[in-house]
Structures are given as C-alpha cells and as structure tokens.
Amino acid sequence: MTNHAAAKLPVEEALYSSELVFTVLQPARFMQNFERSWNDIVEHDRLAQPYSRAVKMCSVDYRDVAEVAALAMTGNELSYGTFELCAPGMLDSYETAAILSEVLGRPITAVEMPLDQFASLLPEGPLREGMTRMMSHYDRHGLPGGNALVLRAILGREPRSLKDYFAELASR
C-alpha cells in the first residue's frame, strides 16, 4: 500500500524542473473535516476517528490556505517556493478530544472507529479506496508535516487554531 499522497510527487517534480513560475502549497488536514462528524461529537460526546487515537496530526483551516493561495496568485513573493501549511500543534485524538471538552464544557471521549466501518459509510469506488488508503496511512504514521511558523510568516498573523475553529462550530 503506497502513501496516499504519492501521486502528488511527480507533479511537484515536473514543476521544479520546468520553467514555469510555481508555488506549491502542502496543507495539513483541514479543520473543516471535523464538520462532517460534528453532530456525532455533540450528540454522543465522542470523537470517532478511523485511525489510532495516539497518532499525531497537524491541522489547518482552509480559509488560511485560501488566503495563502490568493497571495501566491496575486504576487510573486511566494514564487518558486514549497510551503507546508499548518496551525500550531500536532495533536493526537486524546488531545483533540480534550480541546473539544473544553470548548463544549463537557467530557468528549476519543474513540477509534474500525476502518471497515468508516469505509462502509462511503460509496464504493475510487473515493472509498482512496480514503481507506489515506486512513490506513494515518493509522501508521499520523500526519506530521509542518510548523506553524511558515503559515504565521506568510499570513503576517497567527493562524486560526483548532480550538478557535471548534468554538466557531459550537456557536452555530
């Protein structure tokens, strides 16, 4: 089983060896992915993820990524650069559940959902296969890759935090 992001490498290599002006953005897991499971979190007081609760994951708000993309497309300051984009913190599911507990004011438990159960929620085909490979990769390796310093420097401000994102979801 190969890394789910392996298909991106030849594209990046082609850009690096071309004469094109490029900017490569490598965002961490989008915070907005939690929105899909928000009702389950709130209704059942659990954070169910289809990978080990102990693996560390970086996250980023896709609005911060969009802001960086806009800067890359409207100026040349980021030209010829490759940037890993993430918010502060590399958290496991236990730490993420602790943040949820703080935001919601009640205990939220980290739960590992069996991968086959997760896969059964997806339509058969390439999406299910790709998501299953990605979650299997996360189960073994987590999603390291980034330091908030990069995103902070590009934005000229502190990136949105996972706690702030959860507070925003809770206020809806």
Find, among 172, 160, 168, 171, the residue nearest to 59 by Cα.
160
One digit per residue, the tens of pLDDT, for the chain of length 172 reads 345 566 777 888 888 888 899 999 999 999 999 999 999 999 999 999 999 899 999 999 999 999 999 999 999 999 999 999 999 999 999 999 999 999 999 999 999 988 888 888 889 999 888 888 888 888 888 888 778 999 999 999 999 999 999 999 999 9
Q: What's the confidence (pLDDT) of residue 1?
A: 38
Pairing of strands 29-30, 57-60: parallel
Residue 66: how many CB atoms within 10 A of its CB? 12
Domain 19-170 in this protein, CATH class? alpha beta
Q: How many whole angstroms separate alpha carbon 52 and alpha carbon 22?
A: 36
Q: How many whole angstroms separate alpha carbon 30 and alpha carbon 28?
A: 6
Handedness of CA 148, 152, 154, 155 (dihedral sign): positive
User: Domains of the chain: which residue ranges?
Assistant: 19-170
Residue 77 structure tokens: 């300051």
Q: What's the confidence (pLDDT) of residue 155?
A: 98
**pTM above the 0.85 mark?**
yes
Inter-residue contact 49 to 112 (CB < 8 Å) = yes
Q: How many whole angstroms separate alpha carbon 19 and alpha carbon 74?
A: 19
Q: What's the confidence (pLDDT) of residue 35?
A: 95
- For 22, 88, 89, 145, 150, the CA distances from 81, given in Å and listed in that order, are 7, 21, 23, 16, 11
Cα three-residue angle 169-144-121, rounded to 5 degrees = 55
Q: What's the confidence (pLDDT) of residue 142?
A: 81
Handedness of CA 124, 136, 28, 87 (dihedral sign): positive
